[in-house]
Structure 1
Amino acid sequence: MGKILLENIKLFGFHGCMPEETFLGSYYTVNLEVELDLYPASISDDLSKTIDYVHLYHIIKEEMAINSKLLEHLAQRIIQRIKKYRIDLIKYTKIKICKENPPLQSSVDRICVVLDD
């Protein structure tokens, strides 16, 4: 077994329930972990035996461009697309999405949602 990790992907999006969140937008940080058997790719040096991290990045970027009220919903959409991409290889997926500087009355650096499947 092994893992492919995409860490600290920084994107801008318009997610949230408050009107200003869908109008002004916010910065987000995404971390993705995908567990799979990396042995075949490590022996063959063949991209088709693993998951292309560039494709994973594009899935995240495309889904981040679609507005959601809840980060939970956004995280689930991303996981479902990743599983659909290579369900034959994926054993486990975990995503963490953080909204940087959320619109709260106090000093909070970020709020995060973690979803695994």
Structure 2
Amino acid sequence: MSASADRVVVRGLRLWAHVGVLEHERQMGQWFELDFSLGWDLTAAAVADDLSQTLDYSRAIQALQLQARGLRCLTLEHWSDRILQVLEDLYGPVPIWLELRKCQAPVPGFSGIVAVQRSRRWLP
């Protein structure tokens, strides 16, 4: 992460996508939820009150919504890698952490949430 512990955080981004091992998951689609954090020194933006000095999260939200609409794949792992790539394409090699959740995993007797957590250049 940068010398600062600052970060831009987006939580609870709901995305409709056609992802899943089962054929009907890819055919019909389903809801997923995404949280992500981007490491960035926010001091200059805070002092100057200047959007150009920070990471504009609206760009990420719009790009990820667009990506999800056209996505067809089997695994959360693959999709999470593609999400990381979108974020890097937008903001460069910044520290990134994400959690991608499948809201209704098709496992008999299970009503919880399944997720993957991924990161690049993220220091705990």
TM over 0.5: yes
Q: 1:39 aligns with which of 36, 43, 63?
A: 43
The aligned counterpart of 1:110 is 113
The 5 A counterparts of 1:62-73 are 62-65=66-69, 66-73=71-78
Find the counterpart in structure 1 of residue 103 from structure 2. 100
- Structure 1 distance, partners of 2:110, 2:91, is 40
1:80 maps to 85
CA contact (8 A) 1:59 1:78 kept: no
**Residue 10 (1) aligns with residue 17 (2):** no
Q: Aligned-pair distance for 1:11?
A: 2.0
* CA deviation vs aligned residue, 1:43-92 (integer Å, no higher than 9, x gap): 1222111110101111221222212211111111111121121216x2x1
Gaps of 5+ in 2: none
Instruction: Kindly indicate whether the alpha-carbon contact (under 8 Å) linking 1:63 and 1:74 is maintained by their aligned counterparts in 2.
Output: no
Preserved CA contact (<8 Å) 1:11 1:61:
yes
1:51 corresponding residue in structure 2: 55
Q: For 1:10 and 1:84, how far apart are their aligned partners in 2?
A: 21
Q: Is the 8 A contact 1:6 1:31 kept in 2?
A: yes
Q: Aligned Cα RMSD in Å?
A: 1.3
Aligned residues: 115
TM-score normalised by length of structure 2: 0.85
Q: Report the TM-score, using the length of structure 1 for normalisation.
A: 0.90
CA distance in 2: counterparts of 1:87 and 1:30, whole angstroms:
20
User: Which segments of 5 or more consecutive residues in structure 1 lack a partner in the other structure?
Assistant: none
Percent identity reads 20
What's the offset of the Cα at 1:9?
1.1
